[in-house]
């Protein structure tokens, strides 16, 4: 099987995987932000507590986004 042949919607497998990763992980990050906001709201953490919840729990997806930016800046893909 030719790895460069279009498989899904006119995309190669690698292109489809890259787009799927970005869209699905982006959706997951948005859902995680919603969950952190709900935790802050239900715990009545206040403004300062909510900021720390977002900082503490959001470091993981900030790292994921930084990885993509650094790869583009260095030309690694």
pLDDT, tens digit, 9 for 90 and up, residues 23-54: 898 898 889 889 989 988 999 888 898 898 88
* pLDDT of amino acid 14: 82
CA 7 vs CA 15, 17, 24, 28, 44: distances in Å: 10, 11, 19, 25, 49
* pLDDT of amino acid 1: 57
3-state secondary structure of 2: coil
Share of the chain above pLDDT 70, in %: 94
Give me the mean pLDDT over the 6-32 stretch.
84
Is the separation of the CB atoms in 5 and 12 below 8 Å? yes
Confidence band for 3, pLDDT divided at 50, 70 and 90? low
- The yes-or-no verdict on residue 57 having pLDDT over 70 is yes
Which stretch of DSSP H or E encloses residue 24?
helix 13-42
Reading the block at residue 33, the tokens are 């932000």
Domain boundaries, the chain: 13-74
């Amino acid at each position: 099987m030719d790895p460069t042949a279009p498989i899904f919607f006119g995309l190669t497998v690698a292109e489809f995987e890259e787009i799927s990763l970005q869209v699905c992980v982006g959706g997951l990050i948005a859902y995680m932000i919603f969950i952190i906001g709900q935790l802050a709201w239900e715990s009545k953490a206040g403004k300062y507590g909510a900021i720390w919840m977002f900082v503490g729990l959001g470091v993981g997806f900030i790292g994921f986004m930084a990885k993509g930016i650094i790869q583009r800046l260095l030309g690694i893909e």
